[in-house]
Amino acid sequence: MKTTLLELYRKTPEKFRSFLFDVDGTVLLANSPIPGAPEFLDILRKDNVPFFFLTNNCAQTHEEIAQRLTKAGIYAEADQIISSCDPIPAYFKEINKTGKALRYFLVGRAQNIPGVIEYEKDPEKIMECDGVLHNAGKYDWSVVITAILNFFLKYPEKPFIVTNPDMLNPVEAGVTICSNGQMELVIAHLKKRGIDKERIHFGKPFQAVYGVVKDHLAEVGVRPEETLAVGDWLNSDIRGANLSGIPSCLVLTGLSKVSDIANFDSTYTPTYIVSTLS
């Protein structure tokens, strides 16, 4: 029988000064807690070990994700949630050197940052924009996708940001299509017209979101190498942590199996493997 994360933690607690947990497949399955997860998080809370949740889900606010966890018996505060849309302010502050606010066509929700970024939601005004930001959410796809397609046919060099890189999200009934999966339709049509459009992603395994993670760790006085990133997916949780210098732990309660590791290079290899959290 494989070890649990609790056993690993009990053996060398000094090695793990904080934890970073993926949500779906790691602590929750749909809206139910994964057995062993709430108990382990209660122990961390009792031991005063700080922990955060890192999710690519940007369709919900931090408050909504914290409420979803808490309802399932995993007590969480909004300030423990880090999501793939969190790098937006730093990204736009970095790229905007003009002193004039950039104007982006927005799908979903995002905060305006005065002087840096303003959002346009009217598809009829998309041609006046500096780029497209797809952050998740429901929209009239026949209007919005057509507008985005025409925008990149006219301005193929302008930035196309889709914060969450996931194509599909597993749910009990099968899958749902994430924002990046929805945008495949635009990419396919552009390709047919000779435009190979690259998207910019912020979520796991892309490194922008790990900048936000490191800010949170610094706030609680913990270095990245003293943290353990726990997740169920090699391609996202494990690779992202490895590339950012955070030790990683694959938990076998979700998408990836031990036999999958051999299919990839060493950036996908977890530092630890556990069967469950406790």
Q: Which residues form the interface with Mg ion (CB under 5 A)?
A: 22, 24-25, 232-233
Q: How far is the CB of 229 from Mg ion (least distance, A)?
A: 12
Closer to Mg ion at the Cβ: 161 or 255? 255
Closer to Mg ion at the Cβ: 23 or 183? 23
Handedness of CA 170, 171, 175, 177 (dihedral sign): negative
Q: How far is the CB of 139 from Mg ion (least distance, A)?
A: 25
Q: How far is the CB of 171 from Mg ion (least distance, A)?
A: 12
Q: How far is the CB of 39 from Mg ion (least distance, A)?
A: 19
Q: How far is the CB of 219 from Mg ion (least distance, A)?
A: 24
Closer to Mg ion at the Cβ: 56 or 182? 56
Closer to Mg ion at the Cβ: 72 or 190? 72
The residue of the chain with the least Cβ separation from Mg ion equals: 25
**CB within 8 Å of 230: residues ≥ 6 apart:** 5, 19, 20, 21, 22, 26, 237, 248, 249, 251, 274, 277
**CB within 8 Å of 35: residues ≥ 6 apart:** 276
Closer to Mg ion at the Cβ: 22 or 130? 22
Continuous segment of H or E residues that includes residue 169:
strand 168-171
CA-CA distance, 125 to 135, in Å (whole number)? 18
73: region left, alpha or beta (phi > 0 left; psi from -120 to 50 alpha)? left
Identify whether the C-beta of residue 201 lies closer than 8 Å to the C-beta of residue 163. Answer: yes
